[in-house]
Structure 1
Amino acid sequence: MSIGLGIFLLVVGAVLVWALDLTITGVNLQLIGYILLAAGALVLILGLVLMTRRRSSVSTTRTIADPANGDQVTRRESSIDDI
C-alpha cells in the first residue's frame, strides 16, 4: 500500500509542478507540488525498504547430545521475521 501511495504522491506532485499553469492568490502550487514529490519519493523508498526487510528469514541449526544414549541430535528451525 505504501508503494502505491508513494507513486500517487509523485504523480500528483509532478502534475502540480509541470502540467498545471494555474494561479491561486496566496497559494504556490509549484511549491506544494515539490513538497508532494519529495513526500512521494520518501514514502516509496520507505515502502521498498520495509518490503525487503519483511522477506528476510532466519535459520537456526543446533546440535546437542541426547542425555539418554549420548547420540548427536540435530535440530533445524526456520522462521520468517515479522516486522
Structure 2
Amino acid sequence: MTIAGGIILIMLGAILTWAVEFDIAGLDINVVGVILMLGGLAGLLFGIYRISVARRAVAPTTTIIEDPVTQRRVYEERRPTDPPLV
C-alpha cells in the first residue's frame, strides 16, 4: 500500500464515520469507518517506513584512482542512480 492509498482509506473512513447517517441492517457504518481509518493509518505508516528503508539501502561506491605522474589519489563517490560516465 502506498502513502496515497493510506490517505484515501483514512479519508473514506472519516466520511463513513462522521458524514454518513444511514443504517444498514446488521452493519454499523461508524465501525466500518473506524476500521478503514485504522487500516489507512497502518498503511500510511508502512509506506513511510518502506520509503525510509529504501533510501538507506542506496550506499555510494567509492573508487580510488591513483595518478602515476603526480602520485595523487583521487576519490570518487557514485550512487547507483547517477548517470554513467562517458
Fold match (TM-score > 0.5): yes
**Could you tell me how far 1:77 is from its partner in structure 2?**
6.2
Q: For residue 83 of structure 2, what is the aligned residue in structure 1?
A: none
Q: For structure 1, list consecutive stretches of 5 or more residues without a partner in the other structure.
A: 64-70
Per-residue CA deviation, residues 19-40 of structure 1 (Å, 9 max, x unaligned), is 1111111111111101000000
Q: Percent identity?
A: 31
SS in 2 for 1:39: helix
Deviation at 1:78, TM superposition (A): 4.6
Which residue of structure 2 lines up, in the alignment, with residue 53 of structure 1?
53
Contiguous gaps of at least 5 residues in structure 2: 65-70, 81-86
Which residue in the other structure is 2:37 paired with?
A: 37
1-10 vs 53-62, greater mean Cα deviation: 53-62
> How many pairs were matched up?
75
Over the aligned positions, Cα root-mean-square deviation in angstroms equals: 2.6
In structure 2, what is the equivalent of residue 68 of structure 1? none
Determine the C-alpha separation between the residues in 1 that align with 2:63 and 2:4. Answer: 42
Q: Secondary structure at the match of 1:13?
A: helix
